[in-house]
Structure 1
């Protein structure tokens, strides 16, 4: 039981980092919002499920990749932590810069015409899997929860937990932003949200860089 509880803070920290990362709209979230507003809630949900499936794939690839690297090269943990911590600090900079900006979010309908629900699902998956920042983001998230010598269930808990959170949050975006009212409400609170995100990413980045291996 003691071993179980010792890994929980890292797992919950990884969950928190994931939740806050998707609270700040990027290309995938803006695509979901734009699709829900421009076409309809059901199309937005299909796109959201595709994005969530892409997140699940990235999480699996990252967990197995990092586990394999750490099994072969135990000293590689500090390199992974440096990469993850540096990326979190970059996210902090971007979030704080966005908080200081007056520029609001721009949610637009996807180019290429209307699609079937399966077409939007595939498009969402492709959007997430071709995001060049996704690999670094998942290295940072997994690094927060995957300690040296952690058992397999820790990685599984992070992957499954973030997958369920991804489905819930992306679908929530699709449903909530199916009307322009929510976009306006978000715009009014955007600076505060981005400021909180920037602070969290900065603290998490410093923690990851200065924490013990």
Structure 2
């Protein structure tokens, strides 16, 4: 890639990583409820699926999901159901923790890591985003696989920066809410947003093929 291509790719990838999708909403919620450090560690759960999506884009799996209505529908129904279930648990949590997260920090992290992982791995839109976004920056005169991997690695590095922003913002929001006895409202807002994200995923259309 040329310098000019990188100059376009980096800010565009960073803007994409800041999109308030399900995983970023989780980072915001985890930051509000458990603090920045815990939210950052928990966010590590999203990166194995995202790395797989980059690899999938490099070997053409994104195209397979795009062209297979059955596969796309199966993934989106699974992902939507998980987001709605998770959002419902948060709505019912009130001022405390929902039943999927234990109170002790040592017991809490595996559950939060699992949330991030499952939210990422069951979202077919995430793989399609990686495929659709990275492909235009690949030089067709050069081997595609290595370019996809390099671009994907850069996108994942920018994803880390986005996680930090959401986690810190969540902690600030949580501190404000706790000082005014509004942590239950944060739980309800987080749950409602995840349910909305699940509903949007459930009605998402399969991208048109050419």
TM-score (norm 1): 0.54
Q: Which residue of 1 is the match for residue 40 of structure 2?
A: 52
3-state SS of 2:178 partner: coil
Q: CA deviation at 1:8?
A: 4.8
Aligned to 2:95: 107
2:62 corresponds to which of 51, 60, 77: 77
Residue 22 of structure 1 aligns with which residue? 25
The within-5 A match list for 1:174-193 is 174-179=174-179, 181-183=181-183, 190=189
Aligned-partner SS, 2:20: helix
Alignment-derived partner of residue 155 in structure 1: 155
Alpha-carbon distance change, 8 to 178 in structure 1, aligned in 2, over 3 angstroms: same
Report 1:132-171 matches (<5 A): 133-136=118-121, 140-141=125-126, 143-145=128-130, 146-148=133-135, 149=138, 150=148, 151-152=151-152, 154-171=154-171
Following TM superposition, by how much is the alpha carbon of 1:77 offset from its aligned partner in structure 2, in angstroms? 0.6
Cα deviation 1:129-176 (Å, max 9, x = unaligned):
233633436664464355334524542344223321342134234423
Q: List alignment gaps of at least 5 residues for structure 1.
A: 34-43
Give the distance between the partners of 1:169 and 1:203, measured in 2 at CA.
25
Shift of the 78–70 alpha-carbon distance from structure 1 to 2, 3 Å rule, reads same
Find the partner of 1:129 among 113, 125, 147: 113
Structure-2 separation of matches of 1:211 and 1:172: 41
Aligned residue for 1:168, secondary structure, equals helix
Counterpart check, 1:61 vs 2:61: no
RMSD: 5.0
**1:24 to partner: Cα distance:** 10
1:195 Cα deviation (Å)? Answer: 7.2
Verify the 8 A CA contact 1:62 1:139 in the aligned structure 2: no
8 Å contact 1:14–1:158 — kept in the other structure?
Answer: yes
Q: Which runs of 5+ in 2 are unaligned?
A: 67-71, 139-147
Q: Distance in 1 between matches of 2:5 and 2:15?
A: 16
TM-score normalised by structure 2 residue count: 0.55
Whether the 8 Å CA contact 2:25–2:194 is kept in 1: the answer is no
